[in-house]
Structure 1
């Protein structure tokens, strides 16, 4: 069973949110790019919803993040 509060899940959410804010993008803006309601973005950012790998890839594309770099960053921050 997945744990929404695992260090990896928390770090993934933190990194994605930081990148969204770095781009001066609102949750609504990102939701529009993803063709999802803004509540989708809110729910994964606060840990109320899991992300599938496909969703992570789509979010990365929308935020101009390299998926490999994201995974490296999540793993590095999780091992601290």
Structure 2
């Protein structure tokens, strides 16, 4: 992965984390943590999509993949934090 691809992943992941924070009510970890979760979710989504053999194209596909990964990650964090 090139540096430019990593930067795009981080920016798109940050936006996806913000959207995931809105989708998962109570995910409200704050804007900064939601953005961090979005970046991690983008990598999680990329890994999950790769394992399932699903390819994405363009920024729209990357944004969708990152949002799905961020929602999964926020949901897992929400389950863990309730215990």
Q: Normalising by structure 1, what TM-score?
A: 0.32
Higher helix proportion (structure 1 or 2): 2
Q: Normalising by structure 2, what TM-score?
A: 0.31
